[in-house]
A and B are shown apart, each in its own frame.
Chain A
């Protein structure tokens, strides 16, 4: 019945390349030491293990040309800092990919609004790429991204590239500096600036929980169906395989039932404090 490997055992992956994105964030390309990288769906994540330090959930931000995963990690604590410090040639542990990805198929033929706050752009990057690879398969594609400060904006080259590929790309910052000429404020401030037909629109939203709640509520107020707004939730995760209990959110295991979940399903629970 279960001769297979233990669900908590990672496979060794080698860091092939490391690219600093901002002062506290790097993108690693990871390749399995043996065998192939399993396929993933945009929105899925892996558990990355820094040997002897710990293991954390990290979204897959893309697939490298060499076939490996790219994962974009912000150093906020012991484990993320250890992973950010890995150099090409170093070996880490990786399990997954895990979780439910974005509902790309359900968005077919519709306008799509992709809304990101900060590092939330990482799990959205593969979904934007998939949308733009199949440009005729969708209506208008808008990418709205918020950043605390201009210098913290992630994936600048991707954003420019997506604009050339036919997406309406808008960026907003909270705390502008003297170089910033763009709009100032929260991501919700950009919803008015992009064109979409609310009744024929699908939305993918990722960022801090407060940002996702506000963005989803605003999209719904504008007429987007709550079941067509998807959020990627963040909860403490130790296992990613529904056995450690940490990620529970009401009846949901965010690791398996999410992280991507439709707003209509989670809105009542997001309204409850400390659920």
Chain B
């Protein structure tokens, strides 16, 4: 279907809800843009923008009518593709039953190009290997992805360096570009599932001017990246395991794991076990884990990576180098979340630039 133009988002939200989707979009909560379920487009973070710098996030007033004038939220699609906690199975006697948790139909409204790239990375991890995960596939198939092309990249963004944005070109069901004067949205369709939804909205065909204005939004965004990474030769640079830089960054790093929690691609997990007192059923739970914890690498009572520099090096090297060896793609999509949400403002782009 050719691109269309819609004037407001309310019909879209209504159409999605009528189609059985919980609509999850960006709202203001505790002075941060968070993703949560909305029942009306009125709830969206219209008129707000954000200021993001290393270790710093501030909500600010933006242009009153614009709905999507901010960059990445600490939330990402990861909470929906790989829930923070999920029950794996229950065992009682000789019976083992998979949990088969529900995969709710969710429409994620307001994903950015980097977020779509991060979902593609997770698809590769959970579906592309020798042991594809049927629960991931169920959740993934229940997600409808509605992208918004970035107009106002944040101070910590570098999707252009990672070749993942700022424009959503693939991996979405619908993609919106928000335009001003007059306020409207160009809607592109990216899948068979997106077609009937777009068709059901009150719309008009996009004109040549609409399309040109939409392309201009992305061209302009690409020129306003807050940060940059030189990816040429990055694997060689990260093979400098003995650089003094690791000790320097390790001395600043609190190993708090914030960076891995906000990262939309970090997939590491661990397991927890519990037994019911009433009937003896044993239950296994998988939950997010982080390479910054000490017991992550514990073998025979001693962590392999016992020092902060060792753990920081593992994270940075994995994201930007060994991930490519493992999955044929970078583990970083350039969303900047880890930089913004690092309590001491450690900036991966700066660390990479300062390696030999």
Asked whether, in the complex, the Cβ of B130 is within 8 Å of the Cβ of A256, the reply is yes
Q: Which residues of the other chain, A, contact B298 by a CB distance below 8 angstroms?
A: 236
Does A244 have its Cβ within 8 Å of any Cβ on chain B?
yes
Does B98 have its Cβ within 8 Å of any Cβ on chain A?
yes
Asked whether, in the complex, the Cβ of A243 is within 8 Å of the Cβ of B95, the reply is no
Does B291 have its Cβ within 8 Å of any Cβ on chain A?
yes
Does B36 have its Cβ within 8 Å of any Cβ on chain A?
no
Q: Please, how many angstroms separate the alpha-carbon atoms of A250 and B297 in the complex?
A: 13
Asked whether, in the complex, the Cβ of A246 is within 8 Å of the Cβ of B297, the reply is yes
Least CB distance from A274 to B in Å reads 3
Q: Which residues of the other chain, B, contact A91 by a CB distance below 8 angstroms?
A: 93-94
The listed residue (B127, B242, B314) touching A2 by CB distance below 8 A is B127
Give the bracket for the number of chain B residues in contact with chain A: 35 or more
Q: What string of 1s and 0s marks CB contacts (under 8 Å) between A1-38 and chain B?
A: 11111111111101000000000000000000100000
Asked whether, in the complex, the Cβ of A274 is within 8 Å of the Cβ of B310, the reply is yes
Q: Please, how many angstroms separate the alpha-carbon atoms of A241 and B126 in the complex?
A: 10
Does A106 have its Cβ within 8 Å of any Cβ on chain B?
no
Q: Please, how many angstroms separate the alpha-carbon atoms of A135 and B321 in the complex?
A: 45
Asked whether, in the complex, the Cβ of A248 is within 8 Å of the Cβ of B314, the reply is yes
Does B273 have its Cβ within 8 Å of any Cβ on chain A?
yes
Does B305 have its Cβ within 8 Å of any Cβ on chain A?
yes
Asked whether, in the complex, the Cβ of B130 is within 8 Å of the Cβ of A246, the reply is no
Q: Please, how many angstroms separate the alpha-carbon atoms of A245 and B270 in the complex?
A: 9
Nearest CB in chain A to that of B136: its residue: A2
Which of A39-81 touch B at CB < 8 Å? Answer: 49, 51-55, 76-77
| A244-B96 contact, Cβ under 8 Å, with A6-B135, A8-B286, A93-B91 | no
Least CB distance from A114 to B in Å reads 22
Asked whether, in the complex, the Cβ of B306 is within 8 Å of the Cβ of A2, the reply is no
Asked whether, in the complex, the Cβ of B267 is within 8 Å of the Cβ of A9, the reply is no
Which of A75-129 touch B at CB < 8 Å? Answer: 76-77, 91, 93
Asked whether, in the complex, the Cβ of A2 is within 8 Å of the Cβ of B270, the reply is no
Asked whether, in the complex, the Cβ of A52 is within 8 Å of the Cβ of B271, the reply is no
Does A204 have its Cβ within 8 Å of any Cβ on chain B?
no
Q: What string of 1s and 0s marks CB contacts (under 8 Å) between B130-154 and chain A?
A: 1111110100000000000000000
B interface, over-half SS: mixed
Q: Please, how many angstroms separate the alpha-carbon atoms of A7 and B126 in the complex?
A: 10
Least CB distance from B188 to A in Å reads 27
Q: Please, how many angstroms separate the alpha-carbon atoms of A248 and B286 in the complex?
A: 18
Least CB distance from A271 to B in Å reads 9
The listed residue (B126, B273, B284) touching A243 by CB distance below 8 A is B126
Asked whether, in the complex, the Cβ of A242 is within 8 Å of the Cβ of B130, the reply is yes
Q: Please, how many angstroms separate the alpha-carbon atoms of A236 and B294 in the complex?
A: 11
Least CB distance from B156 to A in Å reads 24
Asked whether, in the complex, the Cβ of A248 is within 8 Å of the Cβ of B322, the reply is yes
Q: Which residues of the other chain, A, contact B321 by a CB distance below 8 angstroms?
A: 251
Q: Which residues of the other chain, A, contact B289 by a CB distance below 8 angstroms?
A: 238, 244-246
Q: Please, how many angstroms separate the alpha-carbon atoms of A2 and B132 in the complex?
A: 6
| A235-B291 contact, Cβ under 8 Å, with A54-B271, A242-B129 | no
Least CB distance from B202 to A in Å reads 37
Asked whether, in the complex, the Cβ of B89 is within 8 Å of the Cβ of A8, the reply is yes
Asked whether, in the complex, the Cβ of A236 is within 8 Å of the Cβ of B271, the reply is no
Does B296 have its Cβ within 8 Å of any Cβ on chain A?
yes
Does B304 have its Cβ within 8 Å of any Cβ on chain A?
yes
Asked whether, in the complex, the Cβ of B98 is within 8 Å of the Cβ of A245, the reply is no
Least CB distance from B184 to A in Å reads 39
Q: List 26 A-B contacts (CB under 8 A).
A: A1-B137, A2-B127, A2-B134, A5-B98, A9-B98, A12-B91, A12-B94, A33-B94, A53-B273, A76-B301, A234-B299, A236-B299, A241-B130, A242-B131, A242-B326, A243-B125, A243-B131, A244-B269, A245-B268, A245-B269, A245-B291, A251-B322, A272-B242, A275-B241, A275-B304, A275-B314
If A2-B134, A256-B129 are given as contacts, then 17 extra A-B residue pairs at C-beta distance below 8 Å, sorted by A number, are A2-B132, A9-B96, A10-B89, A12-B96, A51-B91, A52-B91, A52-B274, A52-B275, A54-B271, A234-B300, A235-B297, A242-B131, A251-B322, A251-B326, A274-B309, A275-B304, A275-B314
Interface, chain B (partner A; CB < 8 A): 88-89, 91, 93-96, 98, 125-127, 129-135, 137, 241-242, 267-271, 273-275, 282-284, 286, 289, 291, 295-301, 304-307, 309-310, 313-314, 318, 321-322, 325-326
Interface, chain A (partner B; CB < 8 A): 1-12, 14, 33, 49, 51-55, 76-77, 91, 93, 234-236, 238-239, 241-246, 248, 250-251, 253, 256, 272-275
